[in-house]
Structure 1
Amino acid sequence: MRILPAAVFALLLATGPVVAQDFLQSFEDFVEEMLPERQAPRAAPRAAPDQPTPVEQRPVVGTDEAEAEPPLPRPRPAPVVREPEPDVLPEPEKTPSAPEEREPERVYQTACPALLGGRVAGEMLEPIAQSVCAERSPLSVTGLWVNGSEIALTSPVITNCQMAGALADWVGAVDLYARAAMNSAVVSVTTGTSFMCRNRLSAADGFVSEHGFANALDIVGFTLANGRVINVESDWLPMSAPEGRLLRQAHGAACGRFTTVLGPEADADHQDHFHLDLGCHGQTCTAQICE
């Protein structure tokens, strides 16, 4: 409270204590309003809860503002020490497994009546496929059964079923003639070339021989039960001899059973054997060549 002048104070006392107290209170209020330096400091407005206090206004704990030090950088994280991975042993090499066995593909072949009926002895072979030469149902023929007797072949022949049946018929006719004319049966047939993939007459070019289709046989001669050996090369002539007559009868009998029959009178290439085949001649495959 400020000290009032004595005259003012004496005047107030004369007016009465109540009036003096009201005047003093009004005077103090006036003085406080006119003297801003005596006003109490107002509280700073609170910051909104969602607005962070600026860094420069944050108090430094434990130190004066003058002695506050700038914040230290965060320490680097300690390096991660990885444990060494265990040694991985290589996998043992796998033993290659055996390929799965597959069922063989079915081979479509045709059964041979001559083989089924026992007129020829032999067996079926796998299909032949060599370049252009082929036969789906070849036979390996080792002997014949004709006229109640077995007639051997000096070497097995590879042929088709049609040729095997025609061979049995033809040798049966030759055997009947030998029995009648020479009083001795045929016991074996001397065979030559059967299947062979080549051109006709073994030429470098031209048509493929019927030998290349297991459709031809070369016959060199016969052996009789009495031991007589008859060869085409040596016994074709003289034609008056018993051996010559048998060979000419055999040649003629072949012309009725095969489409191609070539002998010593055909050309020089057939001086020592009969060539027999079932090749197709003419538009209807019924024409025959008999030389």
Structure 2
Amino acid sequence: MAQPAAPPLPPPRPDLPAPPADGPGAPKAASAGPQTGPATEADTGCLERLDKLGVRFEKLSPVQEKGCKIGNPVSVSALSNTIEIAPASVMECSYAENLARWIANVVVPRASEHLQSAPTKLLIGTAYQCRDQRSGAKLSEHAFGNGVDVMGFEFDRRPPLRVKFQSEGSPEAAFQSAIQKEACSIFTTVLGPGSDDDHGDHLHLDMRMRKGDYRICQ
């Protein structure tokens, strides 16, 4: 299926306006600084694992913004030496580790299998954002740096691919279906095209903890 030669990074979804870069609406997590208080052994271990995975990141100060918070935040600009994130995104360290493993263990081999290409860039719509779920019942996992919306991918030997309803039977459809299904072994919430009206243009991947390790995979 033909893809646009170089699609621009998607703007924030209309119902989720991006906060201004400066001023009172800017997220507090966006500025790096020293860790406030001693880092725990778990925090340090996670950062060391990111290094081993080849993740390019900047350690940030803990986030506390209204009810939103991230205990061990990092700003990630690449998930390996060959796969960038655009734009650089703030997330919890442990989430960044899971995202890097999904890319390495699922996205890379499935791109080779179905598209005969290697991914070079992950396009992100929303990562950390202090907001409620759409239902308003509770805070979104985005509010804890524990979820991202994947809008698409760029590759080394083919045009970019945007997450959407792909043509049935196409290599793009096989690739997208595979990475969505296999994400369920890593993330506790996986929502994408076909799950509901809100996720037709992206993959929502988060790590919400539920009783009995219950997972939502749609």
Larger % of strand: which? 2
Among 157, 161, 175, the residue aligned to 1:230? 161
State how far apart, in whole Å, the 1-side matches of 2:112 and 2:35 are. 48
Unaligned 5+ segments in structure 2 are 1-33
Task: Check conservation: 1:119, 1:165, Cα contact below 8 A.
Answer: no
Structure of higher CA gyration radius: 1
Q: Which runs of 5 or more structure 1 residues have no equivalent in the other structure?
A: 1-103
Letter aligned with residue 131 of structure 2: R
Task: Tell whether 2:195 aligns with 1:266.
Answer: yes
Indicate the residue corresponding to 1:137 in structure 2.
72
Matched, 1:287 2:214: yes
Runs of 4+ deviating beyond 3 Å: none
Q: Give the counterpart letter for 2:216 in structure 1.
A: I
SS at match of 2:152: strand
Distance in 2 separating the partners of 1:182 and 1:271: 21
Taking CA–CA contacts closer than 8 Å with sequence separation of 6 or more, which of the two structures ends up with the larger relative contact order?
2
Partner of 1:239: 168
- The one-letter amino acid paired with 1:169 is R
> How many residues are aligned here?
179
- TM-score normalized by the length of structure 2: 0.77
Tell whether the 8 Å contact from 2:108 to 2:118 is kept in structure 1 after alignment: yes
- Among residues 207, 215, 227, which one is paired with 2:146 in the alignment? 215
CA distance in 2, matches of 1:132, 1:106: 18
Q: Does 1:108 align with 2:38?
A: yes
1:277 matched to 2:206:
yes
Give runs of aligned pairs for residues 120-269 of structure 1, distance below 5 A: 120-145=55-80, 150-172=82-104, 173-201=106-134, 203=135, 205-233=136-164, 236-269=165-198
Superposed displacement of residue 223, structure 1: 1.1
Query: Deviations along 1:107-155, whole A, 9 cap, x unmatched?
Result: 233222332324311111011001110112101000011xxx5101121
Matched AA of 1:252: K
C-alpha spacing 1:287/1:107, structure 2 compared with 1 (3 Å): same
* Length-normalised TM-score, structure 1: 0.58
1:187 alignment partner, SS class? strand
**SS at the partner of 2:79?**
strand
Q: Is the 8 A contact 1:184 1:224 kept in 2?
A: yes
User: Could you tell me how far apart the structure 1 residues matched to 2:155 and 2:114 are?
Assistant: 12
Q: Is the 8 A contact 1:192 1:219 kept in 2?
A: yes
Distance verdict in 2 for CA 1:107–1:220, change over 3 Å:
same
Cα RMSD, aligned residues only: 1.7
Indicate the residue corresponding to 1:30 in structure 2: none
SS of equivalent residue, structure 1 residue 269: coil
The separation in 2 between residues aligned to 1:239 and 1:135, in whole angstroms, is 40
The whole-number CA distance in structure 2 between the counterparts of 1:215 and 1:106 is 20
Q: Quote the Cα distance in structure 1 between the aligned partners of 2:123 and 2:217.
A: 21
